Structure 1
Amino acid sequence: MQREIIFTEDAPQAIGTYSQAVKIGNTIYLSGQIPLIPKTMELIEGDMKKQITRVFMNLAAVAKASGGTLSDISKLNIYLT
């Protein structure tokens, strides 16, 4: 199957060798997100609510660039440290 790399400037650029998302067939795989502000690549620290809000804003931006929304997600893993 053909793979399509998804990219948007409305989410943080990938750090390392991965993509923000990949579309394979009719399925889109979003990469994990951390609370980075896309324009500055500044990490939000301290306030957990602000961190979670930023992560979901980043995920929503990538989902939108992929042609979807957060409501289209069928499986989500959350890791807290």
Structure 2
Amino acid sequence: MSIKRYGAEGGVGTGGQRLPFSRAVEAGGWLKVSGQTPMTNGEVVEGGIIEQSRLAFENCFAIAREAGYGVEDVVHVTVVLTDARYFQSFNKVFAEIFQDNPPARICSVQDLVVDCKVEVDLTCYRADRA
């Protein structure tokens, strides 16, 4: 089994800092997408939890698509919210994205190292790539 790294050269974080991890790693049909925040070009995009959640997911799915995976391949999502009051609004975005095929999930409330409301990561699987 080989391991393929996407974006191993490192992305760009806040203030233009180089990030020392891969955007995603694929092995044995599994794709792990690193946590994504509502950022564009290394800067957090302001907005409420709904806008920030949508952008965090868009960033995850852009990486997944680059690797050949889609929303239908998502088997698990990890979510970090910075405030428990965001839970219901986040769930609306989650339901909108996954509709009748929701993946497994964990959601916690924690501080983030970036000044935003949400971070999301994905685990995807495709048997044809195992």
TM-score range, shorter chain: 0.7 to 0.9
Listed as ranges, the matches of 1:1-81 within 5 Å are 1-7=1-7, 13=11, 15=13, 16-37=19-40, 40-81=41-82
**Structure label with greater radius of gyration:** 2
One-letter amino acid matched to 1:20: R
TM-score (norm 1): 0.79
Cα RMSD (Å) of the superposition?
1.5
Q: CA deviation at 1:47?
A: 1.5
Query: In the TM superposition, what whole-angstrom CA distance separates every residue of 1:3-47 from its partner, at most 9, and x where no partner exists?
Result: 10123xxxxx2542111100112111111101101xx32202341
Q: Number of aligned pairs?
A: 74
Q: Where does structure 1 differ by over 6 angstroms across 4 or more consecutive aligned residues? A: none
**Residue identity (%):** 28
Secondary structure class of the residue paired with 1:18: coil
Partners of 1:32 and 1:76 in 2: how far apart?
10
Corresponding residue of 2:88: none
Structure 2 segments unaligned to the other structure (5+ residues):
14-18, 83-130
TM-score (norm 2): 0.52
